[in-house]
Structure 1
Amino acid sequence: MDTIIKFRFLGDGDCPDWLLAEINTLSRMTSIKIKILGQTVVKYLTEGDLDEEKVRKITQDAKVELNDAKAMVAALELIFTSSARYAVSAADLSSELQQLGLPREHSAAIARLHTDHCPQITATLSSQSLRVSRLSSIEVLSCDNSSPFSTVSLKLKRLDGNVENSVINISKKDVHVLLTELRRAKSLMETL
């Protein structure tokens, strides 16, 4: 029975085969080129701008084909985002990358980039992870209490300016609970 090695930077999961293949490709480059390529990937992750020309130049010098260059960028992107997501220390990241076959100098360069840019990567991931239409106001337009269930018409105004009218059928006793919960949700959303 095979024992599966777990990696903290991958959320205590196994390393995907494609990443192992790219570790081998990354190993063929110098640690300086890994650092420059890593900086380019970090900039892409935090600013959304991948300098493809720079990637091409770095990898051409190392005689890496275009498809391998794209895969190396994807591997570094996974390493940086996953290690930031799981709050892995630089020492653990470096050690685990070495276990996967990346030379010590390469692992150290990636770990330094992780240390320097983890807060920005984490902030970027957080801003992209939960996209909720933020409400600027909730207004009760009408409330019909003529039956055991109330019909409440709400006007929901989002921060982007869009207005949505919603009708909710709810028991009379739950109207106040709904309004309290909507106010609580609004205040929580304002803190995000």
Structure 2
Amino acid sequence: MIKFFKENKLPIIGGLVSTLFIGLAVFVLGNISGYEAKHLISSSLSGINMLCNTVVLASATILALLLTLLGISSGTDNKLKEAHYQQVLTIAKFDTILFIMALILFQLFNIPITEAESVPTSWFTTIYWSTLFISSILSGMLITVLLLLYTTVTNIIWIVGMRKDHPLISTEEDKTDK
């Protein structure tokens, strides 16, 4: 796990910074009452649904494009190291988690909670802050996935397009070390 964080330090830091920035921006709003939270949930529902739709669409597209990336990777003249495929696997894992989280959040916000009369007003504050917290996590995770993807695509461009020596290209020495 420590190796994972070392190898993907910049994308993870990028995602964490964006999550913290968004979360901090929301925290600046301060305390709100249950009635205010109910009103804010109603007014922000379309934006949250749009965020979830965008994240679901982006993550599904990224998963599909990873198949193309694998096709390019296997079709190259150079034999790539396992580390490249581990990068692709990491992106796929993060992206799948992101897809599922966004889909669940989207489904939850299609429940007309603000129209329900049996929900105590005090719950709306918790629902509101949870929504903002989860949406900032979704945004941060999407940024992390995009930065991971950027790193992998950049590596492929160097290997396939620029035909440069790259640490991910397997050499004869690597084969004899095994």
Tell me the TM-score normalized by structure 2: 0.26
Higher Cα Rg, which structure: 1
Point out the structure with the larger strand share: 1
| Higher RCO (C-alpha under 8 Å, 6+ residues apart) | 2
Point out the structure with the larger helix share: 2
Tell me the TM-score normalized by structure 1: 0.24
